[in-house]
Amino acid sequence: MQPVNKKVAFNYPGNKGNKRGFLKDRVIVWSGHSSSGADYWDVVDLIKFQNVKEGLRIRIGYYRQVGNQLRWASQTTITEPVKTMKRLLAQAAKEKEWFRRALVPAARYALRKY
């Protein structure tokens, strides 16, 4: 969680331009231990880009930890405006039962009142 409120940079290959912003929020979930000895942590970030339309973006990636070395391991990520991510998840749930079976119970669990 340490990178929250720190600078984020996206450098695109070729002449696609670069984006700069700040990591606004983050969710981290341990995803498992591999037979090679590495632990994996999945991450969902909320990033606020500067000087871009629809500056709030969601990025999904992961970290890999071997011993005490924790490193960002996503060579590429999906990073989309919040509006686009909503459309993607909604379309996947609409079209694919296997995705609905994962998403709907997760949403119900998250919305439960304690």
What confidence tens digit (pLDDT) does each residue in 69-100 have?
999 898 888 889 999 999 999 999 999 999 99
What's the pLDDT score for residue 48?
A: 93
**pTM of the complete model:** 0.81
| Assigned token pair, 15 | 């002449």
Select the more confidently predicted residue: 63 or 12. Answer: 63
Query: Residue 32: which region, alpha, beta or left (left: phi > 0; alpha: psi -120 to 50)?
Result: left
Q: Residues near 45 by Cβ (< 8 Å), separated by ≥ 6?
A: 8, 23, 25, 26, 58, 59, 60, 61
| Assigned token pair, 27 | 């969710």
Altogether, the residues listed in the chain come to a count of: 114
